[in-house]
Amino acid sequence: MEGLEKLTNLRDLGIDEIRGDVHMALSRSISKLVHLRSLSLSASYQLRIPAFESFSKHEHLYKMKLKGRLEKLPESHVFPPNLTELCLYYSKLERDPMVTLEKLPNLRSLYFHGFIEDVYTGKEMVCSAGGFPLLDTLTIGAFPELKEWRVEEGAMRNLRCLEISYCKRLKMLPDGLRYIITLQELKLEYMSEELKERVRKIEGKDWLKIQHIPSIFIQ
């Protein structure tokens, strides 16, 4: 890790199975690799992803994949200014991630994935008006405690693809989906039977929220 910071022209970096007392050295080294375009970090099972110094100078860093416990996201200004794609796996986040991530001005693709560990353990989630201005694709998976998701009018105004899976306690879709007229695809997998009933074509209570979406897949 001490030699990593010398690779000043490095464009793509991926490190798997982070373990042991390397977090500080790794964070310090990555902070100096300002020409990075993509960064992928994976911690060993149940271990934490290193806490990072600011990525504000990483103007070329467009893609980040973080696999491991975070528990809490850094403030939005810590993320790369031009980040377009973010993937979070097994993060065990305790606070609503949307509060931070919706402020990233250039984010176009956001993926939450979990199986071994959950991604978000909270019960509520809010997407605010004006948030996620350029977001095109949103995948939400493994939010096992999520009961309420609010989408305000004007949020995610460019969203095209939405996928939700393994959110068994989510009983209804957000009313705000009806305002996202750009939506082209909706996929629901491994959700509650109650929610499946609500999105049934014409008869379901949530059908009016999604009837404008051309492609709807429910499993």
Got the DSSP string for 106-168? T--EEEEE-SSS-SB--SEEEE-TT-STT--EEEEE--TT--EEEE-TTTTTT--EEEEES-T
Nearest to 15 by CA among 76, 29, 137, 157: 29
Residue 115 carries which side chain, given as an amino acid letter? Answer: F
Q: Give Cβ neighbours of residue 21 (< 8 Å, ≥ 6 apart).
A: none
* CATH at residue 139: 3.80.10.10
Read off the tokens for 140: 């939400």
Q: 69-80 burial, b for 16+ CB within 10 Å, e for fewer?
A: bbeebeeeeebb
194 SS3 class: helix
Q: Number of folded domains in the chain? A: 1
pLDDT confidence of residue 88: 95
- pLDDT (tens, 9 = 90+) of the chain, 219 residues, equals 668 888 989 999 998 887 766 777 888 888 889 999 999 999 876 678 877 778 989 999 999 999 988 888 999 999 999 999 999 999 999 999 999 999 999 999 999 998 767 899 999 999 999 999 999 999 999 899 999 999 999 999 999 999 999 999 999 999 999 999 999 999 999 999 999 999 999 899 999 999 999 999 998
What tens digit of pLDDT does each residue of 131-140 get?
A: 999 999 999 9
Token pair for residue 39? Answer: 């960064």
State which residues form the domain around 187: 4-218
Those residues whose C-beta lies under 8 Å from the C-beta of residue 193, and which sit 6 or more positions away, are: none
Per the confidence metrics, is the pTM higher than 0.85?
yes
Q: How far is CA 32 from the centre of its chain?
A: 25
* Residue type for position 203: E
Cα 116 from chain centre: 17
Q: Tell me which residue has tokens 């989906």.
A: 177
Q: Which residues contact 109 (CB under 8 A, 6 or more apart)?
A: 84, 85, 86, 135, 136, 137
What are the structure tokens assigned to 151, written together? 């989408």
